[in-house]
Amino acid sequence: MKTLKSLIIVFVLIFISSVSCEVLEEEIISGVTVDTHYGTPEGFEDAVNAAYERLRYFYGDEDGCEITVFGTDEYTNGGHGSAHAINKYEAGLNAESPSFWNPWQYLYIGINTCNAVIGRAPDADIPEAEKNIMLGEVHFLRAHYYYLLVEFFGPVHLTLTETTGVETEANRTPEDQIYDAIIDDLEFAIDNLPLTQSEFGRVTKPAAQHHLALIYLTRAYKSFAQADDFSNAANLAVDVINNSGHILLDDYQQIYNLADANGKLSHTNEQNNEIIFSVQFDINPLLNPRGNETHLYFRPWYEVYDKGGLVRGLGHGYGRPWIRFRPTAWLLENFRPIDVDARFNKSFQIVWYFNDLGGIPAGASIGDTCIWITDEDLDQAKFDALQARLPYANIFSWNINDIDESWSLWMSDLSVTNNNINIFPSPWKIDDNLRPSLNEQEGSRDFIVFRLGETYLIAAEAMLGRDGNATNAVEYINTIRRRAAYDGMEAAMEVTAAEVDLDFILDEWSRECFGEQSRWLDLKRTGKLLERVRAYNPDAAPNIDDHHLLRPIPANQITRCTNTYQQNPGY
Amino acid sequence: MLIVFAGLSISLAAQKVVTGKVTDENQAPLTGVSVMVKGTTVGTLTDIDGAFSLSVPDNARILSFSFIGMKTSEIEIGTLTTFNVTMEVDIGMLEEVVVIGYGTQRRGSITGSIASVTTEDIQELPVIDVGSALQGRATGVVALASGNQPGEGVTIRIRGRRSLTATNEPLYVVDGIPYDGNIVDINPRDIKSMEILKDASATAIYGSRGANGVILVTTNRGGDFPTTVSYSGQYGITSVLALPDLMNGDEYYTMKEVGGRAFQPEEIAAHDRGVSVDWLKLVLDKGYQQNHQLSIRGGSEKTGFALSANYLNERGVIKTQDFSRYSFRVNLDHKISDRIRVGTSTQLSNSVQNWGSNPYGTALAISPLAEPYDSEGEMVYRPGADPLLWNALADYEEGNMVDERNTLRVFANIFAEVDILKNLTYRMNYGPDYREYRRGVFQGTNSISRQGGLPRAQKEHRRTYNYTFENILTYNLTSGNHDLNFTGLYSVQKSTGEYTNIYAENVPYETQLFHNIGTAETVLEFGSDLSEWGIMSFMGRVNYEFMGKYMLTLTGRYDGSSRLAEGNKWGFFPSAALMWRVNKEGFMSTQELFSDLRLRVSYGVTGNTGIDPYQTRGSLTRTIYSFGGNAAFGYAPGTIANPDLRWESSATLNFGVDFGLMDNRISGSVEIYQTNTKDLLLERQIPITSGFNSVMENIGETRNRGWEVNLITRNLTSGEFSWETTLNFFGNKEEIIDLYGTKTDDVGNEWFIGQPLTVWYDYNKLGVWQLGEEDAAAVYAMDPGEIKVEDVNGDNILNQDDRVILGSDMPTLTVGIGSRFEYKGVDLSFLLLGVFGHTIYNSFEVSNATLQGRYNNIDVDYWTETNPTNKHPKPDGSMEYPYYSTTRGYYPGDFFKVKNIQLGYSLPNTILSKIKAKKLRVFINFDTPFIFSQLADNLDPEVYGGEVTSDVPSTRMNSIGVLLDF
């Protein structure tokens, strides 16, 4: 028994010594920390990549769309969604709306990542030349995040250093200082970035130039404008047009078309010569947890207008509809004459065909027209004749003259009581037929932020501002317009300098880039937001006023600050 | 009392040695029983196996066995030398042996605050988890349902919450080994007793882990007694407690019309045909629960064993949700020699929870004008006009939807005990705990979640290995009026958790479910993780007792945790307690009112590091981007490093009175306490302009003050009729005392000085804007028919400054009343539970009364021009939910429930002896037969966290059962 006892004691002693103090040592094996990782070459690259990520939280995102598309002259609300107040400038447009909180928080998270990259760069073990290119990218991104914040919210918190401790206070830096910081960042980017990058989607020098042109142009209208803002903007834009290597595509449709040269469906055409900067989304779901969701938002509720025989599918034009953004009558009328300017027909789906035998009306076959939205000015006789020709079709008209006809998209009581609120032409540019399944939300189309067509418009707007007339600007407008023309209609598309004013440029901007998450900013920049919303967006017109030029500071920001964080006036 | 004459050896010496063994009614050995020759000082105590050996003078006549909590027995010695004695529990006495941490103690000597739940309480209830057995039975314990899924169990909070973000889970200790995770895996029928340690004196020996209270679970053991075979079985039918009143086809149509939402042609046609589908009825069914247990206990002088096997099977009212569990237990004790003992408690359990999906939620939303089947009886997957609402019945089709969660666990305690000296015992516990969790999900093309999309499969694995290693030294010294007991501990605990997961889309054939994910065309997610933590502790405790009247307990524990940064790892947690047995004083001997009276006071500090590992480090978060199709993974700053994180500590002051009146006809205890928690570990929300949403910090201070009353009355004991009632009520008030050392509110985090830790903070609903109030409404850009909320600061703007505290989810008063009647073999018992003083948020109503017209709606009283109600706003088809929608959801949470009524019958001995059984009892049981609450349709407001959701409806159960001992 003695042996047993000693055995036990020995066993215990061995045990105790084997579980010494290492029990209390904490070693992170599965993760990495800022201090250890960012200094390595791989870690620094990881940090740079991370700085891009937040782009996906704004572009192609529902909140990002709501605050840029709604409440403009182009778009009003469809029947669905919970953010109609953002369009209508109603009570729900307030500090507690997630439509503002989400962009606010996501952009600041992005800014802190940029600050970390820039602040830790001196210690990163990576060749100087490579490092500076990467830093150029990150400076551009930080400038872009601040541009969005300052334009939406006015004087906001400005910090250019990484947060390493607990911060519970925030400032409201005057707008002009934020613009100075943005310009510094973009100048750094221009100085350090190459004309092209080996990986498509990385920031290039032309992207930074285009952005800085937009920044000067934006500041040019402000109270703290510098005298040479317009001319700086014009010079930068012209430099991009002449020297960047980017060219306008021959066919407007090719900018957005998903088909490659062989007509095969793919995303390869998203890397074309006109694109200066686009947010990258990916067909591989592992690389696309947060996809481009615009394909949901701009689509009408086509599938409920049939009496059977039309279902959502994977083909072009039959995607999942969330019925958020409905074009205003102005947006569509702005494309006329549509037999001269090809951009209406190249931009909008107006026909849906039967695509399912289930419940298809007796006599109809797959491929017959189920919904047609014509631009024609119909009267009852014409309507009846059309209906006789297309007996199974639901016929609508977007012609403004037909207002209050039963087939009109623009009935005066176009509230949710009216079925017609959920039907409207659907933009092709958001269509995403490569989604793997019917209800997939995460789209894989890249989101174009800057393209050369817009550089022309920036140049034109800047020259108009600089010169006070459109003598120099008109050629940039006409270049865009000739490209947009049907073959043989180029001359008809041309305008004279006398026809070009700020409103005309904004009209052209809409024809070229409608629905691309910049309209609210364009209208605000040019001081035309109130005027044009009142004129063209009947849902928003009664409510919009001056205080809406700034968005409300999210309540979370105000309540979490230990110092007083002032709300914007009127909220 | 039963005396077994086991031997007849005769000694003729002037002194003779008597030996024997003392057990309780369950044949379990009783340790520490005082065996005395009556009228002398000759005596001894029984050892750990209940055995004793004593030299008695030849002239000794009577042997007296006394033990706290047992009736004293006196046996004539005569010529006997072996005494095997079974002692009976003295029901009236609060003097049974109670398990405390790292040892046992007589109830009468306990200085701390401890509540006990006995075998009887547990065995009688048709509960499937340990937590449910505590409900309404243990003072100071709030046990509320964590969910209504089969196998979900309850969430337990002891004396309120202390921490906002570190865990509030009590520490479970099963047969001496800390038990990580929910105790749903422990089979309640294996449990001998549960002790809930509440005050710091009782919990301080668990130091850093005792702040939220400790629940000690002791399982049945074998011993030197005839083998007993027991079977208990039970079968019950469950049904939905209450159903909401949804709109029928006509009501829905009218609401949609009022809300001005466009109709689809199908809806109009269905309405014209008078269609009104009751979807709830289609998806809900009756469920059942069955539970069978076989146990065998017994042993010899050297070896005792307790074996049990248990099978539990429960199917929910949503028929794709079920839970089944097999568990096996082996408890062994063996004496190697007089001084060395070894043993084990080992449990193996395997449970499968079919989580299913929630067709109930879909059934609540789907239009009553939508029909589930077509004219040929085939399922219509997308009934009604809405493209988003899939048929709620789709997941009931075989193989469409599987979410199977399988947990395999081995939990053991292996111990060895050596009596180094007469009074000095060394014990070593080694407790391995191995858990394997596997979740497999398959969502077929036609499932509700895929809605015709590509099928998806997911497989997730978690493997956790913990071990606890303890070395305990116990020293006892009794000298005259002094009783001294010392316990010392060195303990180490370490945990390693691993995780892997893969999630893929488009598996080529659906019958594979999630078992051949490699064939899937697209990977959606994959990952793995490793998480480790450890704790090292030293503890010492001294119990000192003077003259059986004055007791003192001093403890100290020194704990180190890996989760904290260097320099802050170690914490010291002391406590002290005093107890005075007043009724043992001379001056009490003349009175007859108090048969027992004890006063207790204790003070101590406990800690909490229930935070996730690696919080002190600034971590990076992986980001995902791509460039032209090339992966561009990255790492962004994820959390702010905080190397200053330190122990959260709670100091508790507790006063208690234990009393017995009128020969213990009435007994009970009253306690008041105050717990101050400082260095509160908080996940604090900070301005996002810093780039971070929150940070873990030691920030504030909270206080819990409360009182507890526990009363047991034996109302009738005469003859064959007995009636006993247990009453316990307790109140607790939770308060934030300080935040960030500034004593100011933190509105951003919704923390307020003087308020409980969580409050409902929202606008105050005044009603609905009525006709005639257009101008007043227009100030806030509102219209008649919309919800009217209070402009608290009167600035004509409704914004975050107008929110007010509308209540807290923590109850202030909890009442449990249990009563038991016995007449001959018939017994009847019931348990009532009342919970009061809290506010609940009825998210069920808010989310199912959006009045949008897209989804079906609870049939609420909504505003129209002709119905100027203040309850619900006017339907509005253009809004997904009304403005200020949530303000409708706050209700008083008070409820009163009949938890349980049970009627049983035990067969008399005359019949039992004929069938050679020791015990046979049959019973019928009604679980939650009645409920009284302030929610419409008496929906069950009993939910932890105070938010009533649309998850799975609460149920009641009627069951029958049998208990048989051979």
**What pLDDT, on the 0 to 100 scale, is given for residue B145?**
60
Asked whether the beta carbons of A72 and A305 are under 8 A apart, the reply is: no
Mean pLDDT of B604-633: 83
| Secondary structure class of B76 (helix, strand, coil) | strand
**What pLDDT, on the 0 to 100 scale, is given for residue A47?**
95
Beta strands in B809-954 (DSSP E): 813-823, 826-836, 839-841, 890-892, 895-906, 919-933
Nearest CB neighbour to A287, from listed B337, B533, B626: B626
* Burial of A173 per CB tally in 10 Å (0-12, 13-18, 19+): middle
Cα separation of A130 and A126, whole Å? 7
**What pLDDT, on the 0 to 100 scale, is given for residue A490?**
96
Per-residue model confidence as pLDDT tens digits over A115-172:
999 999 999 989 999 999 999 999 999 999 999 999 999 999 999 999 988 899 999 9
Cα separation of A305 and B387, whole Å? 12
Per-residue model confidence as pLDDT tens digits over B324-371:
989 999 999 999 988 899 999 999 999 999 988 888 888 998 999 999
Please name which of B960, B777, B735 lies closest in space to residue B883, comparing C-alpha atoms. Answer: B777
**Under 8 Å CB-to-CB from B224, ≥6 apart: which residues?**
B21, B23, B27, B29, B49, B50, B299, B300, B301, B304
Answer yes or no: do B634 and A48 touch at CB < 8 A.
yes
**What pLDDT, on the 0 to 100 scale, is given for residue B92?**
43
- Chain A residues lying within 8 Å of B525, measured CB to CB: 286, 289
**Under 8 Å CB-to-CB from A210, ≥6 apart: which residues?**
A236, A237, A240, A276, A277, A450, A454, A455, A458
Residue A29 in this model has a pLDDT that exceeds 80 = no
Asked whether the beta carbons of A74 and A519 are under 8 A apart, the reply is: yes
The pTM assigned to this predicted structure is: 0.81
**Mean pLDDT lowest for which of A324-328, A353-357, B507-511?**
B507-511
Mean pLDDT of B430-435: 92
Give the mutation candidate from A10, A100, A104, A109 for the B interface (greatest B CB count, under 10 A). Answer: A109
Distances in Å between the Cα of B292 and the Cα atoms of B238, B317, B961, B965 are: 17, 21, 10, 14
Distances in Å between the Cα of A50 and the Cα atoms of A47, A71, A127 are: 5, 32, 20
**Mean pLDDT lowest for which of A12-16, A108-112, B333-337, B634-638?**
A12-16
Mean pLDDT of B502-524: 88
Mean pLDDT of A549-570: 94
**What pLDDT, on the 0 to 100 scale, is given for residue A135?**
98
Per-residue model confidence as pLDDT tens digits over B242-281:
888 999 999 999 999 898 887 877 788 889 999 999 999 9
Nearest CB neighbour to A34, from listed B616, B628, B637: B637
Residue B946 in this model has a pLDDT that exceeds 90 = no
Cα B93 to chain centroid distance, Å, stands at 28
Q: Which of A433-437, B23-27, B65-69, B540-544 is modeled with the greatest confidence?
A: B540-544
**What pLDDT, on the 0 to 100 scale, is given for residue B829?**
86
Cα separation of B145 and B954, whole Å? 9
Per-residue model confidence as pLDDT tens digits over A84-93:
999 999 988 9
Cα separation of A167 and A211, whole Å? 31
The CB density around residue B473, as the number of other CB atoms within 10 Å, is 15
Answer yes or no: do A25 and B336 touch at CB < 8 A.
no
**What pLDDT, on the 0 to 100 scale, is given for residue B8?**
37
Residue B385 in this model has a pLDDT that exceeds 70 = no
Predicted ipTM of the assembly:
0.92
Cα separation of B419 and B417, whole Å? 7
* Phi-psi sector, A172: left (phi>0), alpha (psi -120 to 50), beta: beta
Answer yes or no: do A287 and B642 touch at CB < 8 A.
no
Residue B67 in this model has a pLDDT that exceeds 90 = no
**What pLDDT, on the 0 to 100 scale, is given for residue A5?**
59
Q: How high does pLDDT run on average in chain B?
A: 84
- Name the DSSP class of A551: P
**What pLDDT, on the 0 to 100 scale, is given for residue A200?**
94
* More reliable by pLDDT, B88 or B837: B837
**What pLDDT, on the 0 to 100 scale, is given for residue B559?**
87
- Per DSSP, the residues of B493-515 read EEEEEEEEEEEEE--S-GGGTTS
Asked whether the beta carbons of B215 and B194 are under 8 A apart, the reply is: yes
Beta strands in B609-699 (DSSP E): 620-623, 626-627, 630-631, 634-637, 648-661, 666-678, 681-685, 694-698
Per-residue model confidence as pLDDT tens digits over B84-135:
888 876 544 444 667 777 777 777 777 777 777 776 666 666 566 676 667 6
Cα separation of B109 and A489, whole Å? 103
Mean pLDDT of B476-500: 90
- Chain A residues lying within 8 Å of B259, measured CB to CB: 416
Per-residue confidence band for B440, with pLDDT thresholds at 50, 70 and 90: very high
Mean pLDDT of B913-942: 82
**Mean pLDDT lowest for which of A68-77, B211-220, B288-297?**
B211-220
Measured in degrees and rounded to the nearest 5, phi and psi for residue A504 equal -65, -40
Q: Which residue of A has its CA nearest to B699?
A: A166
- Name the DSSP class of B858: B
In degrees, rounded to 5, the angle at the alpha carbon of residue B737 between the alpha carbons of residues B734 and B743 is: 150
Answer yes or no: do B451 and A53 touch at CB < 8 A.
no
* Burial of A170 per CB tally in 10 Å (0-12, 13-18, 19+): buried
Per-residue confidence band for A499, with pLDDT thresholds at 50, 70 and 90: very high
Per-residue confidence band for B532, with pLDDT thresholds at 50, 70 and 90: confident
Answer yes or no: do A202 and B337 touch at CB < 8 A.
no
**What pLDDT, on the 0 to 100 scale, is given for residue A373?**
96
Residue A493 in this model has a pLDDT that exceeds 80 = yes
- Going A221 to A224 to A228 to A234, the CA torsion angle's sign is negative
Answer yes or no: do A560 and B494 touch at CB < 8 A.
no
Cα separation of B737 and A394, whole Å? 67
How far the first Cα of chain A sits from its last, in Å, is 85
Per-residue model confidence as pLDDT tens digits over B864-902:
999 999 999 999 887 888 989 999 999 998 988 888 898
**Under 8 Å CB-to-CB from A341, ≥6 apart: which residues?**
A335, A481, A484, A485, A486, A489, A493, A511
Chain pair A-B, CB pairs under 8 angstroms: 299
- Residue A406 tokens, joined: 């039963």
Residue A492 in this model has a pLDDT that exceeds 90 = yes
Residue A3 in this model has a pLDDT that exceeds 80 = no
Nearest CB neighbour to B620, from listed A23, A31, A438: A31
- Chain A residues lying within 8 Å of B629, measured CB to CB: 267, 282-284
- Give me the percent of chain B exceeding a pLDDT of 90: 31
* Burial of B273 per CB tally in 10 Å (0-12, 13-18, 19+): exposed
* Burial of B957 per CB tally in 10 Å (0-12, 13-18, 19+): buried
How far the first Cα of chain B sits from its last, in Å, is 20
Amino acid letter for position A436? P
Cα separation of A236 and A230, whole Å? 10
Nearest CB neighbour to A560, from listed B528, B628, B686: B686
Mean pLDDT of B70-86: 80
Nearest CB neighbour to A104, from listed B562, B624, B688: B688
Residue A7 in this model has a pLDDT that exceeds 70 = no
Cα separation of A543 and A522, whole Å? 20
Please name which of B288, B287, B294 lies closest in space to residue B326, comparing C-alpha atoms. Answer: B294
Mean pLDDT of B161-180: 74
Buried b (16+ CB within 10 A) or exposed e, A386-422: beeebebbbbbbbbbebeebebbbbbeebbbbbbbbb
For chain B, the farthest-separated pair of C-alpha atoms sits apart, in whole angstroms, at 111
**Under 8 Å CB-to-CB from B818, ≥6 apart: which residues?**
B136, B137, B725, B726, B727, B829, B830, B831, B832
Asked whether the beta carbons of A553 and A153 are under 8 A apart, the reply is: yes
- Residue B150 tokens, joined: 């089969």
**Under 8 Å CB-to-CB from B50, ≥6 apart: which residues?**
B21, B22, B23, B28, B29, B30, B31, B33, B223, B224
Per-residue confidence band for B4, with pLDDT thresholds at 50, 70 and 90: very low
Cα separation of B184 and B300, whole Å? 32
Per-residue confidence band for B950, with pLDDT thresholds at 50, 70 and 90: low
Amino acid letter for position B133? A
Buried b (16+ CB within 10 A) or exposed e, A213-232: bbbbbbbbbeeebeeebbbb
Per-residue confidence band for B21, with pLDDT thresholds at 50, 70 and 90: confident
- Whether the CB of B525 is below 8 Å from some CB of chain A: the reply is yes
Q: How high does pLDDT run on average in chain A?
A: 91
**Mean pLDDT lowest for which of A8-22, B59-73, B373-387?**
A8-22
**What pLDDT, on the 0 to 100 scale, is given for residue B9?**
37
**What pLDDT, on the 0 to 100 scale, is given for residue B11?**
38
Q: Which of A295-309, A454-468, B210-224 is modeled with the greatest confidence?
A: A454-468
**Under 8 Å CB-to-CB from B908, ≥6 apart: which residues?**
B824, B825
| Secondary structure class of B19 (helix, strand, coil) | strand
**Mean pLDDT lowest for which of A240-254, A261-275, B664-678?**
A261-275
Residue B718 in this model has a pLDDT that exceeds 70 = no
- Chain A residues lying within 8 Å of B339, measured CB to CB: 1
**What pLDDT, on the 0 to 100 scale, is given for residue B2?**
36
Residue A21 in this model has a pLDDT that exceeds 60 = no
Please name which of B852, B387, B875, B260 lies closest in space to residue A300, comparing C-alpha atoms. Answer: B387
Per-residue confidence band for B62, with pLDDT thresholds at 50, 70 and 90: confident
Per-residue model confidence as pLDDT tens digits over A432-473:
888 888 888 999 999 999 999 999 999 999 999 999 999 999
In degrees, rounded to 5, the angle at the alpha carbon of residue A336 between the alpha carbons of residues A331 and A342 is: 100
